[in-house]
Amino acid sequence: MRVDFIVPRYGPFPGGAEGACRLLAEHLALRPGWSVRALSTTAVDSVTWRPQLEPGTTTESGVTVERFDCEGRDPEFGALSERLLSDPERVSPEDEELWLAQQGPVSAGLLQAVADSDADVMVFTPYLYHPTVAGMARSSVPKVLQPATHDEPPAWLPMFQPVYRSAQGLCFYSDEERRVAQRLYPIAASRQLVLGVGVEAGDGDAEAFRSAYELGSDPYLVAVGRVEAGKGSPLLAELFATYKQEHPGPLKLVLVGQVVEPLAEHPDIVCTGMVDERAKWGAVRGALALVSTSVNESFSLVVLEAMAAATPVLVTSRAAVTKAHVERSGGGFAFSAYGEFAPQVTALLRSDSARAVLARRAREYAQTRYSWSAVTDRYARFLEQVARG
């Protein structure tokens, strides 16, 4: 079975659709008789899509990776996007094409590789970017769209209707994501799978992380992912600052990930920037809880990884996916405002035994529902069905 994944960037990036794609590809590559290839660009940064890696072919954890040169995000994209997305359903086809190209990454080499592919099935992810929209139009083999759908302004652009409709299979990360897609697109007759992603806790030294960032023995909340408004980072910083003002003490907030939009300085907020996997897992394992204020989530690998590491989670109740993880697991709390956030944090700080119960429930949920063996078996069967037609 030959599978090609088409993804705008490929590598050890934390969380997100690209991270889920890499993990799925690596686990499929372990199956006897399966040949897995990733076609991608030389970009690393999902904000600029600037080419940073060398083009060419490598083998990474059993996956053949072919990277192609690309054009990054146009400096005019922000202004164009703000204008068009104020009323996305009325955008003209010409403006849609301009928006897609300016957003990036655009890679002629990648699109040619898609057109030349003789794989049994191709998987495109996520829905939002040029490689998926243009690549699906050029592919002549059975196609699976793994969209990572969010109810966000770009999802209402008319050009995404044929993208979803043309896929021979649709693979979602959660029931909540599928419901959003079914509301937005004419996909009732399409072959569909709600898959999720396998989760397993990685190695990480909590004490080494504490030492590296001079945290001592202070308790801390951790958030993992890009630091930007789109991920809810300013809201989290505001919630934390208010809590500290009302509850003085040693509690810290640690944000692990690329700083896209710097936050106002606070003596108890630590931004690490991008770190390696071992440091990330050390941060998660040592935390009082992981906090997610990101609203647009199709699965939230970051939240599930924290659960797998027996770290309780605090999530915004505005994100249906992560709220559902909390409600099904009993491994954390959901909050809608500071009035709920504050007593949740206080409860974790005051009671080790209560936190231990949440931690156990979180780990059991991740291990029971999202083991890699079960996820990979379901995924392989689905891809085989799509390939057969």
pLDDT confidence bin for 16, thresholds 50/70/90: confident
Q: Are 220 and 349 in contact (CB under 8 A)?
A: no
Widest Cα–Cα separation across the chain: 62
pLDDT confidence bin for 300, thresholds 50/70/90: confident
E strand or H helix at 255:
strand 252-256
Tokens at 130, concatenated: 């040029």
For the chain, which domains are there? 2-198+371-388 (3.40.50.2000), 206-369 (3.40.50.2000)
pTM of the model as a whole:
0.81
Is a pLDDT exceeding 80 seen at residue 15? no
**Mean per-residue pLDDT of the chain:** 96
pLDDT confidence bin for 296, thresholds 50/70/90: confident
| Average pLDDT over every residue of 161-183 | 96
Instruction: List Cα–Cα distances, 70 to 29, 43, 52, 150, 237, in angstroms.
Output: 26, 7, 10, 25, 35
* Sheet of strand 143-145, all strands in order from the earlier edge strand to the far edge: 56-60, 63-68, 35-41, 2-6, 121-124, 143-145, 169-172, 191-194
| Average pLDDT over every residue of 134-161 | 97
Is a pLDDT exceeding 80 seen at residue 154? yes
pLDDT confidence bin for 205, thresholds 50/70/90: very high
Share of the chain above pLDDT 90, in %: 93
pLDDT confidence of residue 333: 99
| Average pLDDT over every residue of 323-338 | 97
Is a pLDDT exceeding 80 seen at residue 13? no
- Helix, strand, coil percentages in the chain from 3-state DSSP, rounded to 5: 45, 20, 35
pLDDT confidence of residue 12: 86
Q: What are phi and psi of 312, to 5 degrees?
A: -60, 160
Distance CA 104, CA 113 (A): 18
In the chain, the amino acid numbered 245 is: Q
| Average pLDDT over every residue of 362-378 | 94
pLDDT confidence bin for 336, thresholds 50/70/90: very high
| Average pLDDT over every residue of 1-6 | 99
**Could you tell me which residues come within 8 angstroms of residue 261 by beta carbon, excluding any fewer than 6 positions away?**
227, 228, 229, 233, 234
Is a pLDDT exceeding 80 seen at residue 363? yes
| Average pLDDT over every residue of 318-342 | 97
| Average pLDDT over every residue of 303-326 | 96
pLDDT confidence of residue 14: 64
